[in-house]
Structure 1
Protein backbone atom coordinates (compact mmCIF):
# COMPACT_ATOMS: atom_id res chain seq x y z
CA UNK A 1 0.00 0.00 0.00
CA UNK A 2 1.34 3.42 -0.90
CA UNK A 3 1.50 5.96 1.92
CA UNK A 4 2.10 9.07 -0.18
CA UNK A 5 3.53 10.36 -3.47
CA UNK A 6 5.57 13.45 -4.27
CA UNK A 7 6.22 15.47 -7.40
CA UNK A 8 8.98 17.94 -8.14
CA UNK A 9 7.64 21.12 -9.75
CA UNK A 10 9.49 24.03 -11.34
CA UNK A 11 7.19 26.87 -10.24
CA UNK A 12 5.97 26.16 -6.70
CA UNK A 13 3.37 28.96 -6.53
CA UNK A 14 1.90 28.13 -9.95
CA UNK A 15 1.65 24.43 -9.07
CA UNK A 16 0.28 25.18 -5.60
CA UNK A 17 -2.53 27.26 -7.13
CA UNK A 18 -3.19 24.58 -9.77
CA UNK A 19 -3.44 21.70 -7.29
CA UNK A 20 -5.56 23.66 -4.80
CA UNK A 21 -8.21 24.11 -7.50
CA UNK A 22 -7.78 20.81 -9.36
CA UNK A 23 -7.89 18.57 -6.28
CA UNK A 24 -10.75 20.34 -4.47
CA UNK A 25 -13.49 18.35 -6.28
CA UNK A 26 -11.82 15.15 -5.03
CA UNK A 27 -12.07 16.47 -1.44
CA UNK A 28 -8.30 17.00 -1.26
CA UNK A 29 -7.20 20.13 0.55
CA UNK A 30 -3.88 21.71 1.41
CA UNK A 31 -2.93 20.17 4.75
CA UNK A 32 0.58 21.51 5.32
CA UNK A 33 3.33 23.66 3.80
CA UNK A 34 6.90 23.09 4.97
CA UNK A 35 9.96 24.77 3.41
CA UNK A 36 8.93 24.56 -0.25
CA UNK A 37 6.80 21.44 0.14
CA UNK A 38 2.99 21.34 0.07
CA UNK A 39 1.01 18.31 1.26
CA UNK A 40 -2.54 17.75 0.07
CA UNK A 41 -4.92 15.12 1.36
CA UNK A 42 -8.19 14.16 2.98
CA UNK A 43 -9.08 14.03 6.65
CA UNK A 44 -6.00 15.93 7.75
CA UNK A 45 -3.54 13.40 6.27
CA UNK A 46 -1.25 14.64 3.46
CA UNK A 47 -0.82 11.93 0.84
CA UNK A 48 -0.02 13.99 -2.28
CA UNK A 49 3.03 16.27 -2.09
CA UNK A 50 4.67 18.80 -4.37
CA UNK A 51 8.20 20.18 -3.93
CA UNK A 52 9.08 23.44 -5.61
CA UNK A 53 12.12 24.82 -7.29
CA UNK A 54 13.23 21.56 -8.83
CA UNK A 55 13.77 20.74 -12.46
CA UNK A 56 11.35 17.98 -13.27
CA UNK A 57 12.54 14.97 -15.15
CA UNK A 58 10.31 12.66 -17.12
CA UNK A 59 6.61 13.29 -16.54
CA UNK A 60 4.86 10.75 -14.32
CA UNK A 61 1.31 9.41 -14.17
CA UNK A 62 -0.57 9.49 -10.88
CA UNK A 63 -4.16 8.31 -10.49
CA UNK A 64 -6.28 9.61 -7.62
CA UNK A 65 -9.42 7.79 -6.54
CA UNK A 66 -12.70 9.63 -6.96
CA UNK A 67 -15.85 8.72 -5.03
CA UNK A 68 -18.12 9.06 -8.06
CA UNK A 69 -18.21 9.67 -11.79
CA UNK A 70 -19.48 13.16 -11.03
CA UNK A 71 -16.32 13.84 -9.03
CA UNK A 72 -14.23 12.70 -12.00
CA UNK A 73 -15.99 15.25 -14.22
CA UNK A 74 -15.68 17.99 -11.61
CA UNK A 75 -11.95 17.28 -11.23
CA UNK A 76 -11.43 17.49 -15.00
CA UNK A 77 -13.32 20.78 -15.27
CA UNK A 78 -11.55 22.31 -12.26
CA UNK A 79 -8.13 21.24 -13.50
CA UNK A 80 -8.74 22.75 -16.93
CA UNK A 81 -10.03 25.98 -15.35
CA UNK A 82 -6.86 26.07 -13.22
CA UNK A 83 -4.65 25.95 -16.33
CA UNK A 84 -4.22 22.21 -16.83
CA UNK A 85 -4.21 20.64 -20.29
CA UNK A 86 -6.73 18.01 -21.31
CA UNK A 87 -5.19 14.57 -21.67
CA UNK A 88 -8.38 12.50 -21.76
CA UNK A 89 -11.95 13.65 -21.23
CA UNK A 90 -14.12 12.00 -18.57
CA UNK A 91 -15.37 8.64 -19.77
CA UNK A 92 -15.20 4.85 -19.49
CA UNK A 93 -11.77 3.23 -19.46
CA UNK A 94 -10.68 -0.28 -20.53
CA UNK A 95 -10.77 -1.78 -17.03
CA UNK A 96 -14.16 -3.04 -15.92
CA UNK A 97 -16.23 -0.24 -14.36
CA UNK A 98 -13.35 2.28 -14.50
CA UNK A 99 -14.39 5.81 -15.36
CA UNK A 100 -11.64 8.39 -15.49
CA UNK A 101 -10.28 11.68 -16.76
CA UNK A 102 -6.72 12.86 -17.36
CA UNK A 103 -5.07 16.28 -17.23
CA UNK A 104 -1.49 17.46 -17.54
CA UNK A 105 -0.33 19.74 -14.74
CA UNK A 106 1.91 22.79 -15.37
CA UNK A 107 4.98 20.51 -15.53
CA UNK A 108 3.43 17.92 -17.85
CA UNK A 109 2.68 15.31 -15.18
CA UNK A 110 -0.34 13.20 -16.17
CA UNK A 111 -2.84 13.40 -13.30
CA UNK A 112 -5.89 11.14 -13.42
CA UNK A 113 -9.07 10.96 -11.39
CA UNK A 114 -10.68 7.52 -11.56
CA UNK A 115 -13.80 5.94 -10.14
CA UNK A 116 -14.21 2.15 -10.17
CA UNK A 117 -17.91 2.07 -9.32
CA UNK A 118 -20.44 0.74 -11.84
CA UNK A 119 -22.62 3.32 -13.58
Structure 2
Protein backbone atom coordinates (compact mmCIF):
# COMPACT_ATOMS: atom_id res chain seq x y z
CA UNK A 1 0.00 0.00 0.00
CA UNK A 2 2.65 2.55 0.99
CA UNK A 3 5.67 3.56 -1.01
CA UNK A 4 7.17 5.48 1.91
CA UNK A 5 6.25 7.01 5.23
CA UNK A 6 8.11 9.96 6.77
CA UNK A 7 7.91 11.16 10.35
CA UNK A 8 9.82 13.46 12.65
CA UNK A 9 12.00 12.43 15.56
CA UNK A 10 13.26 14.46 18.50
CA UNK A 11 16.88 13.23 18.36
CA UNK A 12 17.82 12.44 14.77
CA UNK A 13 21.24 10.80 15.41
CA UNK A 14 19.81 8.58 18.18
CA UNK A 15 16.73 7.59 16.16
CA UNK A 16 18.80 6.88 13.05
CA UNK A 17 21.19 4.66 15.01
CA UNK A 18 18.32 2.87 16.78
CA UNK A 19 16.29 2.10 13.65
CA UNK A 20 19.29 1.00 11.58
CA UNK A 21 20.45 -1.40 14.29
CA UNK A 22 17.02 -2.66 15.34
CA UNK A 23 15.78 -3.24 11.78
CA UNK A 24 18.97 -4.74 10.33
CA UNK A 25 17.76 -8.31 11.07
CA UNK A 26 14.74 -7.54 8.86
CA UNK A 27 16.93 -6.54 5.92
CA UNK A 28 16.50 -2.77 6.36
CA UNK A 29 19.42 -0.65 5.15
CA UNK A 30 20.24 3.04 4.89
CA UNK A 31 19.28 4.78 1.67
CA UNK A 32 19.42 8.41 0.65
CA UNK A 33 20.29 10.86 3.41
CA UNK A 34 20.39 14.64 3.60
CA UNK A 35 20.77 17.06 6.45
CA UNK A 36 18.78 16.11 9.59
CA UNK A 37 15.81 18.29 8.60
CA UNK A 38 15.55 16.25 5.37
CA UNK A 39 16.52 13.01 7.09
CA UNK A 40 17.27 9.49 5.98
CA UNK A 41 15.40 6.88 4.00
CA UNK A 42 15.49 3.38 5.49
CA UNK A 43 14.91 0.82 2.75
CA UNK A 44 13.10 -2.47 3.24
CA UNK A 45 13.26 -5.64 1.17
CA UNK A 46 9.97 -4.83 -0.55
CA UNK A 47 11.17 -1.40 -1.78
CA UNK A 48 9.00 0.44 0.74
CA UNK A 49 10.83 2.95 2.88
CA UNK A 50 10.59 4.59 6.26
CA UNK A 51 11.98 8.11 6.37
CA UNK A 52 13.11 9.85 9.54
CA UNK A 53 13.80 13.55 9.95
CA UNK A 54 14.63 15.92 12.79
CA UNK A 55 11.67 17.90 14.14
CA UNK A 56 11.19 20.39 16.94
CA UNK A 57 7.54 19.46 17.29
CA UNK A 58 6.35 16.94 19.85
CA UNK A 59 5.73 13.72 17.98
CA UNK A 60 2.76 11.57 18.97
CA UNK A 61 3.78 7.95 19.61
CA UNK A 62 3.26 5.67 16.63
CA UNK A 63 2.85 1.93 16.31
CA UNK A 64 5.10 0.74 13.49
CA UNK A 65 4.92 -2.94 12.54
CA UNK A 66 7.62 -4.37 10.29
CA UNK A 67 7.26 -7.61 8.33
CA UNK A 68 9.60 -10.47 9.20
CA UNK A 69 9.99 -13.48 6.94
CA UNK A 70 10.64 -15.90 9.80
CA UNK A 71 10.10 -16.16 13.52
CA UNK A 72 13.88 -16.12 13.93
CA UNK A 73 13.95 -12.68 12.32
CA UNK A 74 11.40 -11.52 14.92
CA UNK A 75 13.66 -12.79 17.69
CA UNK A 76 16.76 -11.23 16.09
CA UNK A 77 14.92 -7.90 15.74
CA UNK A 78 13.92 -7.97 19.40
CA UNK A 79 17.48 -8.59 20.61
CA UNK A 80 18.93 -5.98 18.24
CA UNK A 81 16.32 -3.40 19.27
CA UNK A 82 17.04 -3.96 22.97
CA UNK A 83 20.79 -3.73 22.32
CA UNK A 84 20.15 -0.46 20.46
CA UNK A 85 18.46 1.03 23.54
CA UNK A 86 14.85 -0.01 23.00
CA UNK A 87 12.66 -0.94 25.96
CA UNK A 88 10.80 -4.24 26.10
CA UNK A 89 7.11 -3.97 25.26
CA UNK A 90 6.44 -7.65 24.54
CA UNK A 91 8.93 -10.47 24.08
CA UNK A 92 8.81 -12.64 20.94
CA UNK A 93 5.91 -15.03 20.94
CA UNK A 94 2.60 -16.04 19.45
CA UNK A 95 -0.28 -13.60 19.69
CA UNK A 96 -3.20 -15.95 18.89
CA UNK A 97 -5.76 -13.26 19.72
CA UNK A 98 -4.72 -11.67 16.37
CA UNK A 99 -4.54 -15.00 14.49
CA UNK A 100 -3.09 -18.46 15.05
CA UNK A 101 0.29 -17.75 13.39
CA UNK A 102 0.83 -14.14 14.52
CA UNK A 103 4.37 -14.23 15.94
CA UNK A 104 5.61 -10.83 17.07
CA UNK A 105 7.84 -8.83 19.40
CA UNK A 106 7.47 -5.23 20.55
CA UNK A 107 9.90 -2.59 21.80
CA UNK A 108 9.56 1.08 22.66
CA UNK A 109 11.99 3.20 20.64
CA UNK A 110 13.71 6.51 21.42
CA UNK A 111 10.64 8.72 20.87
CA UNK A 112 8.20 6.38 22.61
CA UNK A 113 7.07 4.67 19.42
CA UNK A 114 5.88 1.06 19.73
CA UNK A 115 8.06 -0.80 17.22
CA UNK A 116 6.97 -4.31 16.23
CA UNK A 117 8.33 -7.10 14.07
CA UNK A 118 5.77 -9.68 13.00
CA UNK A 119 5.86 -12.95 11.10
CA UNK A 120 2.57 -14.42 9.83
CA UNK A 121 4.04 -17.71 8.61
CA UNK A 122 3.23 -20.94 10.44
CA UNK A 123 5.84 -22.99 12.29
CA UNK A 124 9.41 -22.09 13.13
Tell me the TM-score range normalised by the shorter chain: over 0.9
Q: Give the aligned length.
A: 119
Runs of 4 or more, structure 1, over 6 Å off, are none
Aligned to 2:71: 69
Aligned to 2:88: 86
Equivalent residues in 2 for 1:1-119 (5 A)? 1-36=1-36, 37-42=39-44, 45=47, 47-93=49-95, 94-96=97-99, 97-119=101-123
Structure 1 residue 45: Cα displacement: 3.9
- The gaps in structure 1 that reach 5 residues or longer are none
Structure 1 residue 9: Cα displacement: 0.5
TM-score where L is the length of structure 1: 0.92
- The gaps in structure 2 that reach 5 residues or longer are none
- RMSD of the TM alignment (CA)? 1.6
TM-score where L is the length of structure 2: 0.89
